[in-house]
Structure 1
Amino acid sequence: MTHYPVPAKNRGNARKMRKAMTDAELKLWNEIRAHRLMGLAFKRQMPIAGYIVDFACPNKKLIIELDGSQHARAAASTSDATRTAKLGALGWTILRFWNDDVIRNIDNVCQHIVIAAGLGNAEAPAPAREEAFP
């Protein structure tokens, strides 16, 4: 696994974010933590290349981002695209889900994650908002 230098400020922010998870983050974390989702190992609020991603599966180079309504605004959308491009250039695949999708349809979200990790059947994909493949 590639290691990226993590500034102390980012490490501290990630620690704080782990303690203050949103409802959607907590719901997804309860589904994917401790290898519960097809044996995949996820980390939460993981610093990568200057960013703190919501969830990452380093073995599959898969990042999951959960977005609230503020991400629909133009400025946030541009920032998200830049972030996705930078992480994608490092070989990561980024899946973005709306918080509401996680709250209302966690099974479909999990199915999409499994498919993106190459462990599931691609016949019934979940509604991911954005994917960036290297």
Structure 2
Amino acid sequence: MEERQRAKLPSDTLDRARVLRGYATDAERTIWQRLRNNQLPGFKFRRQYPVPPYIADFCCPSARLIVELDGSQHSQHTDSVRTRFLESKGFTVIRFWDNEALQQTDAVMEAIWNACRSAAPHPNPSPVGRGA
């Protein structure tokens, strides 16, 4: 059987993602402490996840979910272009303001958990031709 290989990322994108991991904002650190080490059962997250030409703040590849934390430097137009691109790659994107992540961490985590569960396939799908 042929082993499936990951597509090679452009080295500049991978290098930039590695650098960004060392310069996390307070909001990113707060949410990462709650996402890391499979703290949401069944959902493994990665931080500064490359989806060239972008780097997502957090990604759960199995749920095809990207979580973005937006600070004051974000513009609605740029974020909407970025979101459309990520969605075109098959991801669901949810966004939170940095102050939400810091001041309403439990509510943000609940929203992430709900998004993961709604994105994940049902463990016992209906047989073909049945269900919705």
Structure number, greater radius of gyration:
2
With normalisation by structure 1, the TM-score equals 0.80
Amino acid across the alignment from 1:60:
A
For structure 1, which segment, 38-47 or 55-64, has the greater mean C-alpha deviation from structure 2 after superposition? 38-47
After superposition, residues 72-87 of structure 1 pair within 5 angstroms as: 76-87=75-86
Partner letter of residue 68 of structure 1?
Answer: G
Shift of 1:70: 1.8
1:22-33 superposed matches below 5 A: 22-33=25-36
Paired amino acid for 1:103: L
List structure 1 segments (4+ residues) > 2 angstroms apart after TM superposition.
Answer: 1-5
Query: What secondary structure is seen at the aligned counterpart in 1 of 2:117?
Result: coil
- Opposite residue 91 of structure 1, the aligned amino acid is G
* Residue in 2 that maps onto 1:34: 37
Instruction: Report the aligned-residue RMSD.
Output: 1.8
CA contact (8 A) 2:83 2:93 kept: yes
Gaps of 5+ in 2: 119-132
Please state if 1:11 is matched with 2:10: no
In the alignment, what sits opposite 2:104?
Answer: 105
Pair 1:39–1:70, CA change in 2 (3 A): same
Deviation at 1:40, TM superposition (A): 1.3
Scaled by the length of structure 2, the TM-score of the pair is: 0.81
Q: Determine what percentage of the aligned residue pairs are the same residue.
A: 38
